[in-house]
Amino acid sequence: MWGGRFSAQPSDIMRMINASVGFDQRLARQDIQGSKAHATMLAAQGIITQDDRDAILSGLDAILAEIEAGAFDFSDELEDIHLNVEARLKERIGDAGGRLHTGRSRNDQVATDFRLWVREQLDWMDTLIARLMRALLDQADAHADTIMPGFTHLQSAQPVTFGHHMLAYLEMFARDRGRFADCRARMNESPLGAAALAGTPYPIDRDATAAALGFDRPMANSLDAVSARDFALEAMAAATICATHLSRLSEEIVIWTSAQFRFVALSDAFTTGSSIMPQKRNPDAAELVRAKVGRITGSLTALTIVMKGLPLAYSKDMQEDKEPVFEAFDALDLSLQAMAGMVADMVPNERRLAEAAGAAFSTATDLADWLVMRLNMPFRDAHHVTGRIVAMAEREGVTLDALSLEQMQSVELGITEAVFDVLTPLASATSRTSYGGTSPERVREQVARWRATLS
């Protein structure tokens, strides 16, 4: 492609380090999409003829068909997807193929292709996250009044409902969905027409190519257009946060399915066995999703370090931008699909959840609140009285609601029979009626809100 300047072939090692077609061939469809928009604009501006345009469009369609059929011969000597397509186009249609590159550079071409690919991934992530949110919503709906222990420090804290727990993750993934949407809106500008770095003397119409490719507008600065990769960094930052949420939910599934917890069960569809221990059912899907955040975060870190010291405009370092992005979104795609499957598949053990919800004096805060509301006791005093009653129950080896009224009155004479109305896990959860609280009433309200939103 640059034989006019160079008289000798590059060394084998130069070809190896320089070639990117082994991975950037994933951009073939976006490359052809961008080239068709560019050719159409060139003809509309009178820069190439209508006949050349028609030949280019027909040739590009044929090349895409070859690629999709697996019949395209990719060449490392042609370095990347862009030169491979261009060379094949010239083979098919002759001189008209050489006119396609008028008014553009590989710099703006690859930036455009990459933006198109990332934008499609953001749209697909939106679809996958919505699917996961619906699975969480179904579980929340079915278990709005299923009692389970809520934890702080992984210690039993207060009873909550399983539906409330599911809705917490739904809210997290809703924010992830919002981050991807924000990223998409910010990146939806077209680099095409910026050429190598300074623009072009040809009378191109950048608004036309931007509109043809679904961008909101052309990028306003040609230097920025070819050198910016913050759209990819932002997309991977959002992916990393989403993967972190997936990892947290995966960790809970791993804990919940253990023999020690037995909070939920997963079917054969999302578990594996052991090669030596026939009794085992391992939550391998959850463990693998939990691990993917490392791969995704690593990809974000890799591209950040590639970009951190680059002067404007384009440097060959930026060839290293695609593999980490491809890897990150492949991992997130698989993780979101696996998690949606697991959430839909898991069956809560309601009896075991209820039993655990009542353990470790989880209604102690309810007792303290009762003392404040019924006896007008300062909360710190109520906290002290409750602590003494908990210590009594611990010595007796019973739950708070199993203590007698007389035993509690030996600590605080003002306690009445009415205290027992708040000492069961169900009563505790039902009483938490503040907005965003865990009561079944509030959970059902949130379920209805999200049903309307996701529909």
Query: 280: which 2 tokens?
Result: 């085992």
Q: Does residue 371 have a pLDDT over 80?
A: yes
What DSSP string runs through 261-315? T--EE--GGG-B--SS-TT--B-HHHHHHHHHHHHHHHHHHHHHHHHTTPPSS--
Residue in 185, 187, 177 with CA at minimum distance from that of residue 126 = 177
Q: How large is the average pLDDT for residues 218-222?
A: 98
In angstroms, the CA 309 to CA 78 distance is 28
Strand bridging mode 217-218 / 189-190 = parallel
How do residues 201-211 score in pLDDT, each as one tens digit? 999 999 999 99
pLDDT digits (tens, 9 = 90+) for 85-106: 999 999 999 999 999 999 999 9
> Per-residue pLDDT for 122 more than 70?
yes
Its pTM surpasses 0.85: yes
The sign of the torsion formed by the CA atoms of 129, 134, 138, 141 equals: positive
pLDDT given for residue 1 in this prediction: 54
- Res. 152: pLDDT tops 70: yes
pLDDT tens-digit map of 273-308: 777 776 778 899 999 999 999 999 999 999 999 999
DSSP 9: P
Q: Is the pLDDT of residue 7 over 80?
A: no
At 5 the pLDDT is: 57
Residue 247 falls in the annotated catalytic set: no
Query: SS in 3 state form for 16-47?
Result: HHHCCHHHHHHHHHHHHHHHHHHHHHHHHCCC
User: Sorting pLDDT into bands at 50, 70 and 90, what band is 12?
Assistant: confident
Q: Catalytic site residue 153?
A: yes
Task: Give CA–CA dist 298/327, Å, rounded.
Answer: 10
Give the sign of the dihedral formed by CA 116, CA 119, CA 120, CA 121. positive
**Which of 186, 296, 200 minimizes the C-alpha distance to 241?**
296
3-state secondary structure of 157: strand
Q: Catalytic one among 153, 275, 434, 455?
A: 153
Decide if 415 contacts 409 (C-beta within 8 A). yes
The Cα 453–Cα 35 span in angstroms is 38
Average pLDDT over residues 199-227: 98
φ/ψ (deg, to 5) at 62: -65, -40
Does residue 18 register a pLDDT over 90?
no
d(CA 263, CA 142): 15
11, 75, 267, 274: which is the annotated catalytic residue? 274
Given this model, what pLDDT does residue 229 score?
A: 97
Q: Distance (Å, rounded) from C-alpha 65 to C-alpha 330?
A: 24
What does the pLDDT read at residue 143?
98
Q: Is 74 exposed, middle or buried (0-12, 13-18, 19+ CB in 10 A)?
A: middle
Cβ atoms of residues 311 and 223 within 8 Å: no
Query: Residue 4: is its pLDDT beyond 70?
Result: no
Give pLDDT tens digits for 377-389: 999 999 999 999 9
